[in-house]
Chain A
Amino acid sequence: MPHISLPDHLPGITGLLEYSQDTAAPIRELTQILLRGENSLTQGERELIASIVSHNNGCKFCTSAHTAAADLLLGESETCELVKNDLENAPVSDKMKALLTIARMVQQSGKSVTPEAIAIAKEQGATDMEIHDTVLIAALFCLYNRYVDGLASVTPTDPSFYQYLGERIVNHGYTRLPQGYDHLKKTDK
């Protein structure tokens, strides 16, 4: 049960963002820019960053949602699975491995990022903007993961929920649905 009173029909982050719409607006906008905005990293690559950080923070809700989004964008599920559990052997470019390594360091703390890790990413062709965005995406998910779990929002166990959420992320993005979320209230009584 959540630590505070949240809308019943909106598990995970969605209920929190509806509970506090003033703070949700800039959080949603930042996410939309970082994960959906124009970028030399693909949307799938950026969802891998969100997934590895959420996974290492032990946040099941965010890990499941962003894994679903990454899988849809990449068209397969093996890559994200390996990124989370065996990065060295994941089928991603050396540049992405270097950026995901930086993301993993950011998850631990800002100070954990080493100049060597930055140098390796640059050697593999990562631009300053890509390094910037990787660090900020990783940092943003340290916010999300703590927000979701720190208030004990509901984590659905049904995989089909995350399939639906992944589709919503891929097809609609991170902005608030224009019609709100009342249509998700269960009508069966």
Chain B
Amino acid sequence: MAYIKLLNEELPGISGLLTNNPRTAAPLLNLAETLLRGSSTLTSGERELIASYVSHLNGCHFCHTSHGAAAAAHLGCDLTIIDDIKQNFAQTPISSKLRALLNIAAKVQKGGKHVLSEDIAAAREEGATDEEIHDSVLIAAAFCMFNRYVDGLGTWAPEENEAYREMGEKMAFLGYNRPR
């Protein structure tokens, strides 16, 4: 049970918090929609992978699994990608540009100052643009917020990957501003 009283205790993770707090929910969802589904030269699948990876590094099971499921829906791949994200993408073929951006995201997760000029230069060498570097940093920073919101208020989360399949499809195809 969450640390604060929620209108609907059955809603897991951020869902219960958003339903409880419509005023802050609107900008939070708009931010997720813009970052993960807005126009970008990174695909939504790639951006969901960054979100899921950072959430895993923050130990946030709900965000790691739900955004991993959203990535799987975008990429048309199996939910086992959720487990592979924890193995630093050992099985998933990802571009060297995305790998360099994931490295920057992991540094952001530790703290903004951990991002070094070398990390940025390595991403540029793989063809990353200013916008792609910006978006990777901001997605990582935003999930350092979302993860803390979800876990800092002690929300519950389903355990199994399978429980997130439908949620991930909705996030991917209907978006974050879908009617709830």
Measured between beta carbons, the chain A residues less than 8 angstroms from B146 are 139
Interface members, chain B 133-155 (any A CB < 8 Å): 133-134, 137-138, 140-142, 144-154
Interface size class of B (residues with CB under 8 A): 35 or more
Measured between beta carbons, the chain B residues less than 8 angstroms from A34 are 24
B127 interface residue, CB < 8 Å from A?
A: no
Contact with A along B91-122 (1 / 0, CB 8 A): 00000000000001001100111010100100
Given A150-B115, A151-B137: A26 and B148 interface contact (C-beta under 8 Å): no
Given A26-B31, A115-B3, A149-B113: A110 and B137 interface contact (C-beta under 8 Å): no
Measured between beta carbons, the chain B residues less than 8 angstroms from A136 are 24, 149
Contact with B along A120-140 (1 / 0, CB 8 A): 000000001101100110111
Question: Which of the residues A23, A57, A59, A140 comes within 8 Å of B34, measured between beta carbons?
Answer: A23
Which of A30, A106, A113, A142 neighbours the largest number of chain B CB atoms within 10 Å of its CB? Answer: A142
The answer to whether B148 touches A33, judged by C-beta atoms less than 8 angstroms apart, is no
Measured between beta carbons, the chain A residues less than 8 angstroms from B5 are 128
Complex formed: what's the CA distance from A150 to B138 in Å?
Answer: 9
Measured between beta carbons, the chain A residues less than 8 angstroms from B140 are 146, 150
Measured between beta carbons, the chain A residues less than 8 angstroms from B133 are 3-4, 151
The majority secondary structure among interface residues of chain A is helix
Given A3-B133, A4-B133: A142 and B115 interface contact (C-beta under 8 Å): no
Shortest Cβ-Cβ A-B pairs, 9 listed:
A149-B112, A110-B151, A146-B141, A139-B148, A128-B4, A26-B30, A30-B27, A143-B145, A150-B112
Known contacts A23-B31, A29-B26, A146-B141; 14 further A-B pairs (Cβ under 8 A): A25-B30, A26-B31, A26-B34, A105-B152, A110-B58, A110-B150, A111-B59, A111-B60, A118-B154, A132-B4, A139-B146, A145-B111, A146-B137, A152-B115
